[in-house]
Amino acid sequence: MGKTIYTPDIFEGGKQVNSIPDFAYQKVMVRTIPQLNNDQIIADLQELVDSFNQKDGYNLELEVNFSGYPVKNDPDSEIVSAAQDASVQELGGKLDLKALSMGTDASKFKARNENVDVIILGPGNDTAHQTDEYVDLESFYSFIRLYKQIAINYLK
């Protein structure tokens, strides 16, 4: 699944260019892996915040908005088999359904039922999470047909 990835995506503070900000915040995304779980990362960050707050002039807070665990596909699961068969039918070839480390609603389903089979699959290209992100209509419609075929294959 790769390594834990930390991305400081938003940093904001201050009201004007000629004064020191009285308040600032940073929003960060951390893509986790099973070997270094979310609870440990949160505990480590809280410990860091606490250590700074013991010094004069610091008043830091840690707020966790979402804590999703990485989702790993079982390559031998029924849903992966149904998706692979459907991708051959609809897209002309098998998809690479490897394990990914990303924040996704699938982690919430797995938290409620660790045996549920999930795949992370959607149309797209290499513009994901960019300012000019887009999905072309041909890919969009192809995936609608693909999803329908996956459901048919899976529910047989």
Q: In terms of DSSP H, where are the helices of the chain?
A: 38-53, 78-91, 106-112, 137-155
pLDDT at site 99? 59
> Looking at per-residue confidence, does 90 or 73 come out higher?
90
Predicted TM-score of the model (pTM): 0.65
pLDDT digits (tens, 9 = 90+) for 110-152: 888 888 888 888 888 888 778 889 999 999 999 999 999 999 9
Q: Largest Cα–Cα distance in the chain?
A: 67
Q: How far apart are CA 66 and CA 125, in angstroms?
A: 25
Hey, which residues does 11 pair with through a beta bridge?
A: 26
> Looking at per-residue confidence, does 37 or 88 come out higher?
88
Q: How far apart are CA 147 and CA 38, in angstroms?
A: 31
Residue appearing with tokens 């600032």 = 24
pLDDT at site 154? 94
Q: How sure is the predictor about 1, in pLDDT bands with cuts at 50, 70 and 90?
A: low
pLDDT digits (tens, 9 = 90+) for 25-81: 899 888 777 778 888 899 999 999 999 999 998 999 999 988 877 777 778 889 989
